[in-house]
Amino acid sequence: MDTITRLGVVGCGLMGSGIAEIAACRGLDVLVAEATRAAAQAGRRRITASLDRAVRRGKLTEELRDQALARLAFTHDRGDLANRQLVIEAIAENRDLKTEVLRALDKTVTDPQAILASNTSSIPIIDLASVTTRPEQLLGMHFFNPVPVQPLVELIPALTTSRQTLERARHFATEQLGKQVVQAPDRAGFVVNALLIPYLLAAVRMVENVAAGVEDIDHGMELGCAHPMGPLRLLDLIGLDTAQAIAESMYEEFKEPLYAPPALLRRMVAGGRLGRKSGQGFYTYG
Ligand code: CAA
C-alpha cells in the first residue's frame, strides 16, 4: 500500500489542529489551510500549545516537538494544497461550507490519485462526494476529540467510494497515524454519534425538566458507568454548537424526536454558551 507523505488539512479548529498535530508527530509533511491569515496563525498557536503541553507532561522531547513543528506549514490560500496526496476537510459542521470547500478542493488538488476526506460528524458522505468530479476518491474520516488521545477513526465510504480509496485511507489511519478504525455506514451520525448524541440530548432534557442537577447527572455517569466524563461535561468539550449541528443533521435524516435538539441546547448556543471554547457551557472555564 502506498504511503501518504504530503497531507493537507483544511480548518485548524479543535479537530483540524489535532489531526495536523498527530500527523506531523508521525513524520508527515502537513500543510494546514485556514480561511484567513489570522485564523492560520491561531491554528499554529493552538498546535504549538498542545505540543508544548505534551513536552511538559514528558510525552514528547523538545527535539521531537521542534521536528513536528518544522513539518507543519500554514496557508490561507487553498491553492497551495495542489500537490497534496490526501486532504482532510475539518471545518465547521455546516453542510453549505463543507460542500463549497470540497468543490473547490476538487479543482485545486492536481494529483489524479489524491484522496479527499471529510471529518464531518454527521453529514451524509454521498452529499459531499457528489459535488466533486472524483466521488470514488472521497470518503469520511471521522476523528474524535481530543484527537491526540482518542484512538478511533470512523471510516465512512459513500456508495461511490472505491475499494482502493477505502483501503488507502485505512492504511493511512492505522499504519501511518497509529489509530484504530471502524467502518461505519453512510447514515447521518455514522456509528458513534448515532448512539452518543441521543444520550447527550437526553441529559440536556433532564436539566431542562429540572429533573436533576448538572453535576449530579455527570457524576452519576462518571461514577456509575465509569465514563471518563459525564454527558454535560462532554457536551462542553464537543462544543454545544457542534452538537446542535450534528443533532440537526440526524433529525433531518431520520425525523426521530430523540435526535431533535432540545430548546435549552438551542438557547445556550444562541446565547454564545458553546462550552469550553467560549469559556461557558454547562460549566464555566477559567
Ligand atoms: N491533547 C493531548 N493530550 C490530552 C489532551 C489534549 N487535548 N487532553 C487530555 N490529554 C491527555 C493528558 O495528557 C493525559 O495523558 P497522561 O495520562 O498520559 O498524562 C490524559 O489525556 C488524561 O488527561 P487529563 O488528566 O488532563 O484529564 P482527564 O483524565 O480528565 O482526561 C479526556 C481528559 C482525555 C478528555 C477524558 O476525559 C476523555 O477521554 N473524555 C471523553 C472524551 C470523549 O468522549 N471524546 C469523544 C467526543 S465525541 C467526538 O469527538 C465526535 C463527534 O463528532 C462529536
Query: Which DSSP helix (H) or strand (E) runs through 10?
Result: strand 6-10
pLDDT in tens, 168-179: 999 999 999 999
Beta bridge partners of 46: none
Q: What gap in Å lies between CA 237 and CA 229, rounded to an integer?
A: 10
Active site members:
121, 142, 154, 193
| Grid cell at residue 65 | 516537538
What pLDDT is recorded for position 95? 92
The answer on pLDDT for 130 being more than 80 is yes
Q: What are residue 31's DSSP bridge partners?
A: 8, 73
Q: List pLDDT tens digits, range 253-277.
A: 999 999 999 999 999 999 999 999 9
Q: Give the pLDDT band (50/70/90) at residue 184.
A: very high
Q: Ligand 1 centre from 237 Cα, in Å?
A: 9
CA 226 – CA 76 distance, rounded (Å)? 42
The CA 106 to ligand 1 mean position distance, Å, reads 34
CB 62 within 8 A of CB 91: no
Q: Which residue's C-alpha comes closest to atom 22 of ligand 1?
A: 149
Q: Cβ(193) to ligand 1 under 6 A?
A: yes
Could you tell me if the CB of 191 is within 6 A of ligand 1?
no
* Pocket mutation for ligand 1, best pick of 93, 149, 179 (most atoms within 8 Å of C-beta): 149
Q: What is the CATH number of domain 6-183?
A: 3.40.50.720
Per-residue pLDDT of 134-168, as tens digits, reads 999 999 999 999 999 999 999 999 999 999 999 99
Work out the burial of residue 198: count CB atoms within 10 Å of its CB; fewer than 13 is exposed, 13-18 middle, 19 or more buried: middle
CB atoms within 10 A of CB 66: 12
- Which ipTM was obtained for this model? 0.94
Q: Is the CB of 121 under 6 A from ligand 1?
A: yes
* Distance between CA atoms of residues 257 and 241, nearest Å: 19
Closest-CA residue, ligand 1 atom 19, reads: 57
What does the pLDDT look like over 210-260, one tens digit per residue? 888 999 999 999 999 999 999 999 999 999 999 999 999 999 999 999 999
Predicted confidence at residue 77, as pLDDT, reads: 92
What average pLDDT does this structure show over 45-56? 96
Domain extent listing, the chain = 6-183, 193-278
Q: For ligand 1, say whether the CB of 70 is within 6 Å of any of its atoms.
A: no
Q: Which CATH architecture has domain 193-278?
A: Orthogonal Bundle (1.10)
> Residue of the nearest CA to atom 11 in ligand 1?
149
Residue 111 has pLDDT above 80, yes or no: yes
